[in-house]
């Protein structure tokens, strides 16, 4: 569910694993899906459904929609998982289980963090710029989900500390909000002034993460800035891609969460609060 850039990469990985039958759930018919991966082009084979009313039960449900599309995904989950299928939620933010607990029992939700530079060039065409790394809880369901990718190029990290993994990714995403606000790709982070602001924004996010129990390196802001500066100058993060395409942006899950948790933990977040206000005003 959610065949955008990340959903398409997941589909390609599952196909190259060679043991999965794929059903792609989309709003409109998807005649083909080609993913240009670092290992070569993958044309995905799949059954395409466009209405929850015709969905049948499956072994796994994988949600890769935007965070604000959770209600739409919920209609599909009711049909696809009605016999107890676990639901893997591959989304931004730190509230995977909270977002879907209204649709499926929490003990059947597998939260997943993915780090993968990928861009949708057109419907049915995605460019995966680098390796897909998935962070998955190291429990029984997490291990079962990881097993679906055996034989693919996915890099799987099973972790006993998913909280820290999720907040580490949110720190990376917090920097991306600067690019989205400016309307400029990753090359903007090479500017000195923008680099200084980036460090401050990520530092706020890390302080909130530590307040809720995440273990984050003190030099994480510097690592995040280096990561963005090492991206191709024309690399576009998903928040910016949505703004450029005039789609809704995941501001609540990616920046709003920092502000909300900061308020609950009495950690000031003035820079992220400003970014949130400006992006929402757009």
* pLDDT value of position 204: 98
Report the alpha-carbon distance of residue 232 to residue 129 in Å, rounded: 9
Average confidence (pLDDT) over 205-218: 98
Length of the chain counted residue by residue: 282
Report the alpha-carbon distance of residue 12 to residue 62 in Å, rounded: 13
Q: What pTM, to 2 d.p., does this model score?
A: 0.92
Give me the domains of the chain, ranges plus CATH numbers. Answer: 5-160 (3.40.50.720), 163-281 (1.10.1040.10)
**pLDDT tens track for 150-190:** 999 999 999 999 999 999 999 999 999 999 999 999 999 99
**Which positions ≥6 away from 159 have C-beta within 8 Å?**
135, 136, 137, 138, 165
**pLDDT tens track for 84-128:** 999 999 999 999 999 999 999 999 999 999 999 898 888 899 999
Does 169 participate in catalysis according to the annotation?
yes
Q: Which among 66, 78, 169, 184 is annotated as catalytic?
A: 169
């Amino acid at each position: 569910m959610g065949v955008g850039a990340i959903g398409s990469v997941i589909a390609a990985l599952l196909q190259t694993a060679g043991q999965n039958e794929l059903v792609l759930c989309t709003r409109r018919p998807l005649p083909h899906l080609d993913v240009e991966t670092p290992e070569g082009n993958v044309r995905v084979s799949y059954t395409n459904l466009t209405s929850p009313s015709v969905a049948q039960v499956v072994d796994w449900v994988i949600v890769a929609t935007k965070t604000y599309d959770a209600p739409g995904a919920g209609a599909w989950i009711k049909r696809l998982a009605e016999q107890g299928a676990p639901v893997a939620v591959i989304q931004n933010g730190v509230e995977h289980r909270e977002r879907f607990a209204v649709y499926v029992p929490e003990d059947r939700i597998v939260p997943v963090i993915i780090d993968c530079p990928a861009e949708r060039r057109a419907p049915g065409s995605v460019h995966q710029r680098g390796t897909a790394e998935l962070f998955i809880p190291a429990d029984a369901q997490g291990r079962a989900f990881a097993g679906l990718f055996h034989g693919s190029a996915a890099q799987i990290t099973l972790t006993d500390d998913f909280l820290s993994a999720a907040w580490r990714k949110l720190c990376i995403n917090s920097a991306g909000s600067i690019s989205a606000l400016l309307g400029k790709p990753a090359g903007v982070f090479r500017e000195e002034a923008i680099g200084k602001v980036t460090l401050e924004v990520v530092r706020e996010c890390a302080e909130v993460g530590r307040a809720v129990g995440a273990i984050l390196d003190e030099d994480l802001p510097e690592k995040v800035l280096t990561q963005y500066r090492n991206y191709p100058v024309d690399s576009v993060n998903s928040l910016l891609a949505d703004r450029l395409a005039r789609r809704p942006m995941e501001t609540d899950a990616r920046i709003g969460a920092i502000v909300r948790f900061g308020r609950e933990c009495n950690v000031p977040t003035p820079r992220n609060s400003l970014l949130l206000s400006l992006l929402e005003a757009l």
